[in-house]
Amino acid sequence: MLNLRKTLLCGQCFRWQETAPGVFSGTAGGRFLTVSQKDLPLLKADPFWCSYFDLGTDYDTLQRQLAVLYPTLREAAQLGMGIHILRQDPWEALCSFILSQNNNIPRIQGIINRLCGGQEESLPPIMSGLRQQKSLHPFPSAETLAGQTEQDLAPLRCGFRARYLLDAAEKVASGTVNLEALRTAPLEEARRQLMTIIGVGPKVADCTLLYGLHRMEAFPKDVWIKRAMAQWFPGVAPSSFGPAAGLAQQYIFCWVRQQAGRTVSHK
């Protein structure tokens, strides 16, 4: 069963926050939502959110399949039980992870909020219905960003990443990089195309593939994962985690971050 806290606060997305204990507010697909764990049936009934939270995929089975591969992975998978890989907008995911490089999560969130024109106000909780409305601060399109300059982006305070964002915008807006086509392209080819964007290396490409294009076999390797793989899975190739390697990566990421005390509590 989907665990909202683990899914929304485990570093795969940057536009959600816990606005009250157990209550999460965030933006996706131009919609703003305030939701808590008890609202899961309502999410299932809404086509957009059902897809966004990937409620049609059997994560319990995936989790069990991963857990039997390695004892350490079993431990990580148990901690990560309930994590879903969100179906985020690929353009937004690409930008988010371009901005993530050499950066920390709170500051990434700040930059993205400024990029979208501000923070959304959380909606008051009520007892029934889904608390959603049209977002006042949707993510800017590639076309919008493509017309801007580094000076225009100065207020974001994203530093050297501004020119990466602009190059991504130009390539996506012009069709030089066709994100939708990367959903079905061979993984290595999709990766290669993303890496034609200045400032997009293997890690940002893999994050875009996993979190934006739902390529579950993609396995982003950041410093945390590299350390964890070296210590706990020496000699193990990500491909040995199978077609849901990306989910394994997310379990491991949350697990090592929790061990280091660098994440929210997983109740």
Partner DNA sequence: TGCCAGGAAGGAA
Partner DNA sequence: TTCCTTCATGGC
Report d(CA 197, CA 170) in Å as an integer: 9
Q: How many helices (H) and strands (E) does the chain have?
A: 13, 4
Contacts of 228 (CB under 8 A, 6+ apart): 252, 253, 255, 256
CB closer to DNA, 38 vs 107? 107
Distances (CA, A) of 210 to 35, 65, 122, 248: 24, 19, 28, 12
Question: Catalytic annotation on 203?
Answer: yes
| Pick 16 or 253: Cβ nearer DNA | 253
Backbone φ and ψ of 117, nearest 5°: 90, 15
Instruction: For residue 58, give every residue at least 6 positions away whose Cβ sits within 8 Å of its Cβ, in sequence order, or none.
Output: none
Q: Which of 6, 44, 171, 203 is catalytic?
A: 203
In whole angstroms, what is the distance from residue 239 CA to residue 8 CA?
Answer: 26
Per CB under 7 A, the list member of 88, 100, 122, 193 interacting with DNA is 100
Q: 160: which 2 tokens? A: 């050297």
Under rule CB under 7 A, residue 160 binds DNA: yes
The two tokens of residue 87 are 């179906």
Using CB under 7 A as the binding rule, whether residue 153 contacts DNA is answered as: no
**Is residue 101 at the binding interface for DNA, with CB under 7 A as the rule?**
yes
Query: Which member of 37, 203, 217, 242 binds DNA (CB under 7 A)?
Result: 203
The answer to whether 82 and 6 have CB atoms below 8 angstroms apart is yes
Q: Are 96 and 89 in contact (CB under 8 A)?
A: no
Q: How many residues does the chain have?
A: 267
Interface with DNA: number of residues (CB under 7 A): 34
Q: Which stretch binds DNA (CB under 7 A): 37-45, 87-95, 116-124, 154-162?
A: 154-162
Shortest Å, Cβ 23 to DNA:
22
Residues 7-66 that bind DNA (CB under 7 A): 10-12
Least distance from C-beta 102 to DNA, angstroms?
4
- Is the Cβ of residue 142 or residue 153 nearer to DNA in the bound state? 153
**Does residue 227 belong to the site contacting DNA (CB under 7 A)?**
no
User: Does position 224 bind DNA by CB under 7 A?
Assistant: yes
Assess contact for 182 and 194: CB atoms under 8 A.
Answer: yes
Q: How far is CA 138 from the centre of its chain?
A: 16
Among 140, 199, 212, 238, binds DNA (CB under 7 A): 199
CB of 237 to DNA, least distance (A): 10
- Catalytic (active-site) positions: 203
Would you tell me which residues interact with DNA (CB under 7 A)?
A: 10-12, 100-105, 107-108, 110, 157, 159-160, 195, 198-205, 207, 220, 222-225, 249-250, 253, 262
